[in-house]
Structure 1
């Protein structure tokens, strides 16, 4: 999981076009809309469980997926595509949509279609999640008519979905996030009764993951007050507090994450000379004594004792063990 693979080397011109055509020969025809010397494409794919996230930047081109391509059976999947930059025009039968930045579309690759990318001389940037039909079709009341379902950029759920594309693969909950995205897109395309009933749960998962990412990025700032988070994510205080009930409340969760960050800093050789009072202030504790008490409650030893252990490990082995190893050793000490 979370393994990145470079599918096409960044490049331009005839060689880049030949590589793309070789990669997609059983999927579609590639028609450049620029001179071949000006053609450019870069594609990076990442496996996330049973899903594939594809990040593509390309000059103006057209993909033509004909009935012959469909008959080859090389790609009987659904795609959920986010337009990041440029413009994407998609058509399949009588369905036709145009995507601009922030728009998201559901595409059924089991049907012939044409996709045109236009960026006015620049690059169209798309991020796509490719799902097996067996995963998404059971969520749809009418899977054969779901293609070209559009979630425009100004739709609240589109904004939530878009915020997760780049972050997929960075957290341990990536597969659950894929499931939640599938539920929300299926509901927009006409989901089953079960999916419609579960959309609120899926949306809650995505909001919570999004807020937790912001918390992780701002642990050493004052941007994590409830009012600030409510303003940033445009949700009510009651909704914010409900999201963190399972984590012991918002304040408890933020404090736990700050203590975890302090732990990582204390065992880092680069931070051995940092004063505890400075670390406490950076973690937004009111005093070093408050910080020490909270740290001891969580980890079973004081920050100073942890620093001494880290010094010993570094002196004896030349390196500090991985964080999981340190935590395992501390847990063993407490139970012995």
Structure 2
């Protein structure tokens, strides 16, 4: 889904400060607010096709982006920044905001601005989505007036948006619904919600429900994927966890055949991945069926065969044969494609 780069500037002290200043010379001036020996900054970057995600941990410091920096044209982007820990004070012209944990701000880097990070001797932790101007500006009714738009932690959309920041940097697992396309769609939906809060176009406001739906269902599906082997996926549990009504939850999963159907399908997908693993070759099917919350191994086998066109035992044999002949475990996508071709060739 995304590619994680090594920490761009790990460590502390004068060398870390000098390195950061060299990297940002055309973007801003860096002013430490600690002794140079106590200076610290670490950034990790993830690339997504339509955005850049930056995770930063830093000691107290200021960034001054002057008109001269703006004139160099190195960064003509919007940033959507989430404060995770510490405090961030941001100002641009007459607009000033202070971010505390859970708060989100929209920043226009085409305008001069000042940023102060303060954590009282600790570290300020920020996560930032960087968007090209060509992506966000058309969503805004007044692009030049959007900077310093604050979504406080108690804003109806702040928690929803914050839940997606860390997830965008997670690697995808073969055979799951995560992937490049879903990450791109999530970034698009985040851009829609932030644009609406900053004064979006009529089209963006009209499509707000669609963006909300995407972010909610993506968040819930991620929770389901992490809890397939638990009993925490009943409708009442999910409603309580995500603070939504049962009617809303069921409506979100209508296109998936219903919540129960979706959960069952994802458990079967997980069982498929488990059965391809060499470590699963000696395991009992009844144990796998119980882990996937099926009432019996026979119920599990019937459901598995309906979905994949072969029994769990047959899949084990296929994986074992492949391993003996090639010395490698078959890729999930390879097996799925083979099974699809097999079904298509049947009279």
Q: TM-score, normalised by structure 1?
A: 0.98
Summarize the alignment of residues 207-222 of structure 1 with structure 2, pairs less than 5 Å apart. Answer: 207-222=216-231
Deviations 1:53-72 (A, max 9, x none): 11100000000000100111
| 1:165 and 2:174 correspond | no
**Whole-angstrom distance in 1 between the partners of 2:76 and 2:312:** 55
The answer as to whether partners of 2:4 and 2:169 remain within 8 angstroms in 1 is no
Match of 2:254 among 230, 242, 245: 245
Choose which of 274, 277, 283 in structure 2 pairs with 1:268.
277
1:179 partnered with 2:206: no
Q: Which residue matches 1:156?
A: 156
Q: In the alignment, which residue of structure 1 is the partner of 2:117?
A: 117
Residue matched to 2:174: none
- Point out 4+ residue stretches in structure 1 off by more than 4 angstroms: none
Q: Distance in 2 between matches of 1:47 and 1:316?
A: 37
- Note the aligned Cα RMSD (angstroms): 1.0
Offset at residue 7 of structure 1 (A): 5.2
Partner residue, 2:9: 9
Which residue of the partner structure matches residue 143 of structure 1? 143
Q: How many residues align?
A: 336
Aligned to 2:36: 36
Which residue in 1 is equivalent to 2:240? 231
Q: Which one of the candidate residues 247, 259, 265 is aligned to 1:256?
A: 265
Alpha carbons 2:50, 2:187 under 8 Å: kept:
no
**Larger displacement relative to structure 2 (302-311 or 111-120):** 302-311
1:203 aligns with 2:247: no
- Shift in Å, 1:271: 1.2
Match for residue 59 of structure 1? 59
Q: Does structure 1 retain, via aligned residues, the 8 Å contact 2:32–2:61?
A: yes
Structure 1 residues 152 and 43, CA gap change in structure 2 (3 angstroms): same
Could you state the TM-score of these two structures normalised by the residue count of structure 2? Answer: 0.95
Gaps of 5+ in 1: none
Alpha-carbon distance in structure 1 between the residues aligned to 2:164 and 2:31: 31
**Cα deviation digits, residues 275-306 of structure 1 (max 9, x gap):** 00010000001111110000000000111111
CA offset at residue 334 of structure 1?
Answer: 2.2
Using the alignment, how far apart are the partners of 1:277 and 1:304 within structure 2?
12
- 1:303 pairs with 2:312: yes
